[in-house]
Structure 1
Amino acid sequence: MKKPLATLLVGAVVLTACGTGQTPAPAGDNQAGTGTGTGTVAWSKCTDLVGPDGKVMTPGPGVECGRIPVPLDHAEPDGEKIDLALIRVKATGDRLGSLVFNFGGPGASGVDTMAQAASAFAKLGSRYDLVSFDPRGVERSSGVRCGGQLDKIFAAGQGADQEALAKEFVAACEQDSGKILPHVGTVNAAKDLDLLRAALGDRQLNYFGLSYGTHLGSVYATHFPKNVGRFVLDGAFDPKVTFEERAVIQATGFDHALRAFAEDCVAQSCELGADAAAVEKTVEDFVEGLKTKPIKVGERELTYGLGQYAVITPLYAKQSWQLLEQATAAALNGNATILLTLADAYLGRRPDGTYTTAMSSLMAINCADNAERPTAADAARLNERVEKIFPILSFDGVIGSCAGWPVKGDDAAKRIDATGSAPIVVIGGKGDPATPYQWSTTLTEQLRTGVLVTYEGEGHGAYLTGDACVMRTVDAYVLEGKVPAKGTTCAV
């Protein structure tokens, strides 16, 4: 599971049909605007927002930043504190309250992403302060850092000493971030989220979670069901799946996405092949060829390891399929600049060679949320299985396996049951490669208060595709409290 690519998700898809029924929200627990609106956060001008180019951004109108203290260890609420970094975009109209976002990862900076992507949620921002944050262990909120060897680790492909690289990476994480590692994880983040709700002055939490953000929202609803306001979980993750099940399901999802890309590419007069099968083979053969012949890009190289990330990145959203075609065609002619930029975007590498905490945070949070510790033999066996499904993916790298991790994980974040909460809208996309549709159906069942909305289009996360049916359904729920009818489907 990977963060939504907010900087690439531009444009919109054309929809042809949308079937939806709506009923009023029950009174009481699902009413927006029940807070005082005062809160305790000291908001001020943002000074350290970072754009996709790695440069400091000038905040837009109504954008403010702040911090709140939370316990390092929630078992010791009066003990040592860490700060959570916050951002809000003030409501442009008659304010209902706050709407808190988590954009995924785990490990995505909500502060930087909100600064870049707020315009995509402008309709919701007409009535809500759009609020996001860096969760504990991410960027400004005691972000997990793991040494300065990430270029070497991510560039490594098959044939590299993966075990040695893994040990080096884990040792660096422990050395640089040993204090925070035992206290990251989704249960702790959910407790932080409730402290954020109180600091915002809201009696209930109105929340929009994308990708991993659906997991955080589900855990919050499990621990604080009576505090659930209007909740949207888009691109749902099923926390009960095992490490192996997750890898196989996502490989299947990306295989579907590549095929859909190839069919669309041919329909648009494709540079990569005369038919869909030829396009798929061109892309797969290109990535495979990087094992023995990486492509020079300035002082760097597009290696096999980086090539995988580069190709997977634009498969997250149909809007970026054309970019995949152009980038691959250019690389076949010896210019891999665009593909290397795509890989860097996925991995959080800035133009100056430094990294965000995105991948290190992802590792730390995933390992905290899971008691599984696959062995090297397990990873090798799984890798063989995955490559038969989707040859471009390889699961024998460092990031993704928790073997040797210095902190013992547990399965507390896998328990989902929001009984007693207000209705929670879960959106599942039939063509979502990273969080496949079946996870939305199973998460809806686990929540017990979930209402499933089906999107029949392509891409990771439905709201950001620009699909008018999805946006209309979500906007009506969040702005007016109209809960989607059972069986609501948005067809493209």
Structure 2
Amino acid sequence: MKNRSTSRLRRIGAVVAGAAAAALVLSGCLYSMIPAESPPAATKAPDTSGVAEDLLPFYDQQLDWSGCGPSFDCTDVKAPLDWENPGKGEIELAIVRHRASGTAKGSLLVNPGGPGASGKSFVQSSLDYAVGKDLEKSFDVIGFDPRGVGDSTAVKCFDAKRMDQYLYGIPKSPRNTPAWEAELNARNKAFGAACDENSAGILPFVTTVNAARDMDLLRAVLGDKELNYLGYSYGTFLGATYAKLYPERATHLVLDGAIDPSVPGLEVGTTQALGFESALTAYLEDCVKSKGCPFNGTVDEARADLSALLAAVDRNPLEGGDGRMMGADSMLTGIIQALYSEDYWEYLSQALEGALQGDPTQMFFLADNYNGRGEDGTYADNQTEAFSAYNCMDYPVDTNPADEKAARAKVEKGAPTLAPYWNAPDPCLQWPYPATGKREKIVAPGSGPILVVGTTNDPATPYEWSVSLADQLENGVLITRVGEGHTGYNKGNSCVDDAVNSFFLDDTVPKDGLRCG
């Protein structure tokens, strides 16, 4: 079965993507103080070519934009609750548009990942990080909250107090005992039941297949006959699913930090454990040579010290200043958060030094950043709820004991630091609805070229997944970024950036296998 840590960690990519652009968030906070510009009228009629009659009321929508910041417009789009039964009900999709600073070639849809991350806030607060200046000139950049997420019709579960208990609560029973497992199963069942009760019937329909269909609706109402799309992390699975459903319209897709759609959940978790252990090794190699490292000696000695710290905190949690206790699971969340980018290694060293001195303040900061929790104890969005909804509907639960045993052995061998805290009862075992997704290869015959960007030491979406997805796709083109961290575009590598920009701007397809050092 998938482990709880795996489910959690598959979300971090999107969260860190937003966090890495934290310096840009201030401009988003200032929107309310800047007079909004009057948005221009939509210049394109909706594309309704080939649309079935029962879907025409959705595809033929006229968008009513309103200004929501300098050069930004916002609106809502109505979509079917159930694409198989369009008359069953409606949901709303929240979108933001940053108008092209030059002549627009069309719209460029952007998804930051997750599942559960807000594309609307990603674009509105971190535009330069999301797409970069070159693409801003030639495209209307569209950020959207997929169904179940953020300002769209959203999954709702716990209030802030109960969310704290769910994310940070420390089980009373010793780890890996039957009582511990029962305690976590009860917690997960209560969470799933709250999501079902508070989400107005949308849970069975929060799937990547439905989100991809929503994305085609957005393309159409924006007046584009073909899709321009940039997807990060989970957004690669969303983009690949779109290409599978609408290959003839998938003409300009870039999938950065790919998820392999054929890999089952249990294998995803195992591979990620190895990826994060590799990223941890890279951090420790740098740390022991750097001033301010909390560890002395060799990398192996530093790893042993970190393992001892985690074990100590597991036995005796650290008290935070707000009454919360930090156990090993929350500490692991903070560590993993910082392993997403070399830019965070300094903060990780500070957090570990604090923990060694009995102060979890900095480690709580990293864990809170990952969980979207503010200093006042409120949660900025519903990323945890939406993440759970998508994963539990997309990934069938593997309950084969032999598979679980083999996966655990692989993690213990390849990720010894993380292994003691990696496995726990899968929350999806307690989800109110069975998964409808299938883990299978995506070929997308008839699509345009699809660029797949992979980073060689990406911990969350390991490089092998990008290689596999590019191989699966009939028209996949692999771009390799040699380096650390999650995703490769707009991360300071001009070779990757030039290839992606030229693809969108000039229809130039890079050579398959391009390697960017």
* TM-score with structure 1 setting the length: 0.87
Determine the C-alpha separation between the residues in 2 that align with 1:380 and 1:322: 36
1:197 to 213, 219, 232: 219
Q: Secondary structure at the match of 1:290?
A: helix
Equivalent residue for 1:26? none
Q: Secondary structure at the match of 2:186?
A: helix
2:339 corresponds to 1:315 = yes
Contact kept? 1:37, 1:97, Cα under 8 Å: no
2:240 corresponds to 1:218 = yes
1:153 to 144, 150, 166: 166
Change (3 A) 1:305 1:378: farther
Most deviating of 280-289 and 138-147: 280-289
Contact kept? 1:6, 1:116, Cα under 8 Å: no
Contact kept? 1:138, 1:144, Cα under 8 Å: yes
Equivalent residue for 1:351? 375
TM-aligned CA deviation for residue 381 of structure 1: 7.6
Number of residue equivalences: 454
Contact kept? 2:489, 2:496, Cα under 8 Å: yes
Most deviating of 419-428 and 405-414: 405-414
Letter in 2 for 1:151: D
* TM-score with structure 2 setting the length: 0.83
Equivalent residue for 2:256? 234
Letter in 2 for 1:71: P
Contact kept? 1:375, 1:403, Cα under 8 Å: no
Determine the C-alpha separation between the residues in 2 that align with 1:301 and 1:82: 39
2:393 corresponds to 1:368 = yes
Gapped regions of structure 2 (runs ≥ 5) = 1-9, 23-41, 47-61
Equivalent residue for 1:209? 231
Determine the C-alpha separation between the residues in 1 that align with 2:348 and 2:466: 27
Equivalent residue for 1:29? none
2:460 to 412, 417, 434: 434
Gapped regions of structure 1 (runs ≥ 5) = 12-34, 47-58
Structure 1 segments (4+ residues) deviating >4 Å: 35-39, 375-385
Equivalent residue for 1:30? none
Most deviating of 369-378 and 209-218: 369-378
Q: Secondary structure at the match of 2:201?
A: coil
Letter in 2 for 1:318: E
Contact kept? 2:80, 2:90, Cα under 8 Å: yes
2:461 corresponds to 1:425 = no
Deviation by residue 1:253-303 (Cα, 9 ceiling, x = unmatched):
001000011112233333422332233233332222211222222122222
Equivalent residue for 1:165? 187
Percentage identity across aligned positions?
38
1:107 to 99, 110, 116: 116
TM-aligned CA deviation for residue 304 of structure 1: 1.7
Q: Per chain length, whose mean CA-contact separation is higher, i.e. which structure has more relative contact order (CA < 8 Å, sep 6+)?
A: 1
Deviation by residue 1:107-137 (Cα, 9 ceiling, x = unmatched):
1111122222211222211211111111011
TM-aligned CA deviation for residue 415 of structure 1: 5.0
2:429 corresponds to 1:403 = yes
Deviation by residue 1:141-168 (Cα, 9 ceiling, x = unmatched):
2221222322112224563421211221
Q: Secondary structure at the match of 1:482?
A: coil
Equivalent residue for 1:335? 359
Q: Secondary structure at the match of 2:315?
A: coil
Determine the C-alpha separation between the residues in 2 that align with 1:420 and 1:364: 31
Equivalent residue for 2:127? 118
Letter in 1 for 2:187: L
Deviation by residue 1:383-408 (Cα, 9 ceiling, x = unmatched):
5653443233534446x541122112
Equivalent residue for 1:176? 198
Letter in 1 for 2:112: F
Letter in 2 for 1:9: A
Change (3 A) 1:317 1:421: same
Determine the C-alpha separation between the residues in 2 that align with 1:283 and 1:91: 48
Equivalent residue for 1:31? none
